[in-house]
Every structure is written in structure tokens, then in C-alpha cells.
């Protein structure tokens, strides 16, 4: 484990203790700090690269997401209902025509690759988990076991990373890697969770009223929890000339009545405030200037 001394986005050393949970064998982290300068939530201490690689190669899917086929089917429906509308709203005018090349980094069981393939794109994915990669290949998807496939710089028209940036050790380096794989004029799409939603505000207030530590803000295999401004900054610093961000909700297909009422209240509050539990950011690289 590594003791974090500076914010991975803004570089500030002003980090305040934020939340703590009991350590568990199935998670990487148990406590968080918050950057007082930019508001980023950071696991403290955080797993190092070797620990992360070992976890995601052989434990993450096996422990938390073992049922590949039902999850793949569920995510196909969720992409149609939520992900594609978000993608189109953010960068529909930027997206290249079908037939263009799409890379998804951290593709999991491949539902987004399948979705983009059905739209007519030529897709390839990378994934650390051998279990997840094998499932993708059973769906006739081209997936390599790697953080990022060894590709020539500027090879892809669209590069997608959904729910990956919160798991990495260095988000700035990660975004730079996505940008490096994208051609001039191409698009990078990043999706993650929103760092501040009404349900968490309530859970935090309730815990403190009961004399308990704040609950961990996120799943405890996440290293960071971002706001839209963090994603925009990282994309612009990596070279994107245009960046759009949005927040949206993703209600599941089925919930018990209790959860539908409880979580539905918070989703209504978030919608009224123009937010949701998820963040999406799209960046476009500038076209190369033609030689005079």
C-alpha cells in the first residue's frame, strides 16, 4: 500500500481525512481523504500498481461479478437506455461514421463493445481479467488481456473508458494513454460515478449524527471519486481542445419497493439539481493543421 501525499489531479498536499470502514479481504481500500483544494476523494492508503494488477486479473470479477451472461444482458439493456443517450448528447456531433475504429479500455464482459459493434463500428477491447476477456471472445469480440492494447499511437477514432478511471493508480497518466491512442479529431469518452449525490449527503449526515465515521464514498475497490471538473481538467491537460461533461442517473431494471421509494427520492432530488449518480465526459482532439 502507498501513502498518498498529494492530489492526483491538482497536486495539492492539503488532504483531510474523510471516511473510514473496516478493512475487508475482498476490497482494496478502507479509508479516504478529500483534497481541500479541488474536492477529489482519494483512497488512503491506496493499493500500489502490483496490488491492483493482481486484484483485477484474478479476484475482481470472480468475487463481485461472477455471473457473466446475466450481467452482459443487463448491461446491453442499460446501454440502450442510458449510455448511448449520454454518448449522443455529449459528442453525437463529433462521432465518426459507422465503420470507424473504436477501442474500449477496461471492457469487462464486453457489453459496450457489442453495443458499438451493433452500431456498425469496428471494435477492439482491452481487459486485465482473463475471465472477462474469455467471455468477450465467446461473444466473438476482439479483446486482448492488457491494461491498454499495444497499438500504434493515433490508431482509433473513438476511445472509451467506462468505470475504469476510478480504479487506476494515476488518472492523469491514464487519460494521457487514452488520448495517445486517439487520432487527431477523434473522441475520448470517459464515464465514472459522481462524487457527491444527495443519497451520500444523507448517509454522511446520518452517520455523523449517530457518532459513526462517514461511510466510504464509493465501492472500496475504487481509488478515486471524481467531479465533472476533474474529468474536464484531465482531458484538457492531455490535449483535448473541446470537452463536454454531464451527470445522469441509471436506475436498474428491478428494485424492491423499499429501494424504489428510498433511492427514488434521492434520484428525484438529484434530477432537480441537474445531477445523477454517474458522470460522463467527452473530449475531442484538435485536427492537425495542414502544412502550408
pLDDT of residue 251: 67
pLDDT of residue 195: 87
pLDDT digits (tens, 9 = 90+) for 84-108: 988 888 887 888 888 999 999 999 9
- The closest alpha carbon to 132, from 116, 118, 151, 146, belongs to 146
Q: How far is CA 13 from CA 33, 34, 37, 211, in A?
A: 11, 10, 9, 28
pLDDT of residue 260: 67
Q: Rounded distance, CA 261 to CA 149, Å?
A: 43
- The closest alpha carbon to 143, from 113, 176, 100, 117, belongs to 113
Evaluate whether 71 touches 57 at the Cβ level (below 8 Å): no
Q: How far is CA 284 from CA 94, 136, 182, 232, 240, in A?
A: 7, 28, 9, 11, 5
* Residues belonging to the chain: 292
Q: Rounded distance, CA 55 to CA 27, Å?
A: 9
pLDDT of residue 257: 66
- The closest alpha carbon to 184, from 288, 256, 28, belongs to 288
pLDDT of residue 254: 66
- The single residue listed with the C-alpha cell 497518466 is 173
Q: Which three cell numbers stand for residue 100?
A: 470507424
Three-point CA angle 216, 230, 80, nearest 5° = 80
**Given its phi and psi angles, is residue 154 left (phi above 0), alpha (psi -120 to 50 degrees) or beta?**
left
Q: Rounded distance, CA 131 to CA 61, Å?
A: 7
pLDDT of residue 214: 82
Contact partners, residue 202, CB within 8 Å, separation at least 6: 266
Q: Rounded distance, CA 46 to CA 59, Å?
A: 17
State the pTM of this model: 0.90
Which 3-state string (H, E, C) describes 194-242?
ECCCHHHHHHHHHHHHCCCCCCCCCCCCCCEEECHHHHHHHHHHCCCCE
Q: Rounded distance, CA 247 to CA 268, Å?
A: 13
Spatial strand order of the sheet with 143-145 comes to 143-145, 122-127, 101-105, 156-162, 182-193, 278-284, 242-248
pLDDT of residue 290: 42
pLDDT of residue 255: 60
Q: What's the CATH number for 15-284?
A: 3.40.50.150
pLDDT digits (tens, 9 = 90+) for 22-65: 777 778 898 999 999 999 999 999 999 999 998 999 888 888 88
User: Mean pLDDT, consecutive 10-residue segments, the chain of 292 residues?
Assistant: 94 93 81 95 93 89 89 91 88 87 96 95 95 95 88 91 95 95 95 87 84 83 94 96 88 64 74 81 82 39
pLDDT of residue 289: 53
Amino acid at each position: 500500500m502507498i501513502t498518498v501525499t498529494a492530489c492526483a489531479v491538482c497536486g495539492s498536499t492539503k488532504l483531510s481525512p474523510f471516511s473510514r470502514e473496516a478493512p475487508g479481504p475482498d476490497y482494496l481500500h478502507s479509508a479516504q481523504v478529500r483534497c481541500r483544494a479541488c474536492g477529489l476523494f482519494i483512497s488512503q492508503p491506496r493499493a500500489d500498481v502490483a496490488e491492483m494488477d493482481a486484484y483485477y486479473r484474478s479476484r475482481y470479477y470472480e468475487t463481485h461479478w461472477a455471473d457473466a451472461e446475466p450481467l452482459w444482458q443487463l448491461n446491453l439493456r442499460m446501454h440502450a437506455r442510458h449510455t448511448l443517450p449520454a454518448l449522443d448528447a455529449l459528442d453525437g456531433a463529433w462521432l465518426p461514421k459507422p465503420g470507424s475504429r473504436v477501442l474500449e479500455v477496461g471492457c469487462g464482459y464486453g457489453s459496450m463493445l457489442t453495443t458499438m459493434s451493433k452500431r456498425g463500428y469496428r471494435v477492439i477491447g482491452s481487459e486485465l481479467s482473463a475471465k472477462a476477456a474469455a467471455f468477450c471472445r465467446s461473444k466473438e469480440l476482439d479483446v486482448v488481456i492488457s491494461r491498454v492494447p499495444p497499438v500504434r499511437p493515433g490508431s482509433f477514432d473513438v476511445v472509451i473508458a467506462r468505470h475504469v478511471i476510478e480504479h487506476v493508480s494515476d488518472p492523469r497518466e491514464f487519460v494521457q494513454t487514452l488520448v495517445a491512442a486517439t487520432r487527431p479529431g477523434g473522441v475520448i469518452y470517459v464515464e465514472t460515478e459522481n462524487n457527491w449525490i444527495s443519497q451520500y449527503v444523507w448517509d454522511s449526515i446520518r452517520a455523523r449524527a449517530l457518532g459513526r465515521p462517514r461511510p466510504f464514498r464509493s465501492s472500496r475497490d475504487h481509488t478515486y471519486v471524481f467531479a465533472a471538473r476533474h474529468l474536464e481538467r484531465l482531458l484538457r491537460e492531455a490535449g483535448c481542445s473541446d470537452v463536454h461533461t454531464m451527470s445522469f442517473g441509471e436506475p436498474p431494471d428491478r428494485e424492491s419497493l423499499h429501494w424504489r421509494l428510498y433511492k427514488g427520492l434521492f434520484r428525484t432530488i438529484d434530477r432537480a439539481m441537474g445531477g445523477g449518480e454517474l458522470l460522463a465526459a467527452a473530449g475531442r482532439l484538435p485536427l492537425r493543421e495542414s502544412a502550408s
